[in-house]
A and B are shown apart, each in its own frame.
Chain A
Amino acid sequence: GAGVSQSPSNKVTEKGKDVELRCDPISGHTALYWYRQSLGQGLEFLIYFQGNSAPDKSGLPSDRFSAERTGGSVSTLTIQRTQQEDSAVYLCASSLKGTGGAGGYTFGSGTRLTVV
């Protein structure tokens, strides 16, 4: 597509439920990042996919969080047994190259997750 698409744009869920957030990157972009921004906090790195390499999961805050990227394109971030502290804006970004190159990243518009 023309840009990075994220869905849903807003999600309200009850504590304890599982949620799935979707990111559709720009076609051909090999690198894909998930970030989140909690209220009053900065952007927090979650996970990084680069081509067919094993993802860098070092930013995932707990084992309730997982992500996959199918066919090197669409990515799904799954949060199991959601907690109130999971409430945040979840941003996805993609880039033509993961490292090297002077190009920046294109961000999606984010998914605002509210756990009640």
Chain B
Amino acid sequence: ILNVEQSPQSLHVQEGDSTNFTCSFPSSNFYALHWYRWETAKSPEALFVMTLNGDEKKKGRISATLNTKEGYSYLYIKGSQPEDSATYLCAHRGNQFYFGTGTSLTVIP
């Protein structure tokens, strides 16, 4: 099993704050990096699929960057809202497909 790590494990921010968290993964044998948003009692929702070093993806107030050479991806949320509260998962696709343990985000109104 590949070692995909996410940090921080949990995060509490005030509404309106911007925040970011990290996914790190082995830089060898890289194919794609996936970000998912997972709300309690729902299926994880795909946010981004990133494949190229230097990729930047954006979806509304959420964006992500990718550095395959050093093995990390950042997820940014601008102007956090309570509905952003969820667990954010990253997954590395190499020969296999492995998830990090997630960052649990709570946005306080």
A residues whose Cβ falls under 8 Å from a Cβ of B: 3-4, 33, 35, 41-43, 45, 48, 56, 58-59, 91, 95, 98-100, 102-110
**B98 contacts A45, CB within 8 Å?**
yes
Given contacts A43-B99, A58-B1, contact A108 B43 (CB under 8 A): yes
**B46 contacts A104, CB within 8 Å?**
yes
12 CB < 8 A contacts A-B: A4-B43, A43-B102, A45-B99, A48-B96, A100-B31, A102-B51, A104-B32, A104-B91, A105-B91, A106-B46, A107-B44, A109-B41
B95 contacts chain A at the CB level, 8 A cutoff: yes
**A42 contacts B51, CB within 8 Å?**
no
Partner of A109, one of B1, B32, B42, B102: B42
Q: Smallest CB-CB separation from B38: which chain A residue?
A: A107
- How many whole Å from A98's CB to the nearest CB in chain B? 8
The A contact surface, by secondary structure, is: loop
In the bound complex, residues from chain A placing their C-beta under 8 Å from that of B66 are none
Interface bracket on B:
20 to 34
B residues whose Cβ falls under 8 Å from a Cβ of A: 1, 6, 31-32, 34, 36, 41-44, 46, 49, 51, 89, 91, 93, 95-102
- How many whole Å from B66's CB to the nearest CB in chain A? 13
- Distance of A53 Cα from B6 Cα, bound (Å): 31
Q: Smallest CB-CB separation from A3: which chain B residue?
A: B43
In the bound complex, residues from chain B placing their C-beta under 8 Å from that of A48 are 96
In the bound complex, residues from chain B placing their C-beta under 8 Å from that of A106 are 43, 46
Q: Smallest CB-CB separation from B50: which chain A residue?
A: A102
Given contacts A35-B99, A43-B89, contact A59 B43 (CB under 8 A): no
In the bound complex, residues from chain A placing their C-beta under 8 Å from that of B36 are 104, 107
Given contacts A43-B102, A45-B1, A48-B96, 20 further A-B contacts (CB under 8 A): A42-B99, A42-B100, A42-B102, A43-B89, A45-B99, A58-B1, A59-B1, A91-B44, A95-B97, A98-B97, A99-B97, A100-B31, A102-B51, A103-B49, A104-B46, A104-B49, A104-B91, A106-B43, A108-B43, A109-B43
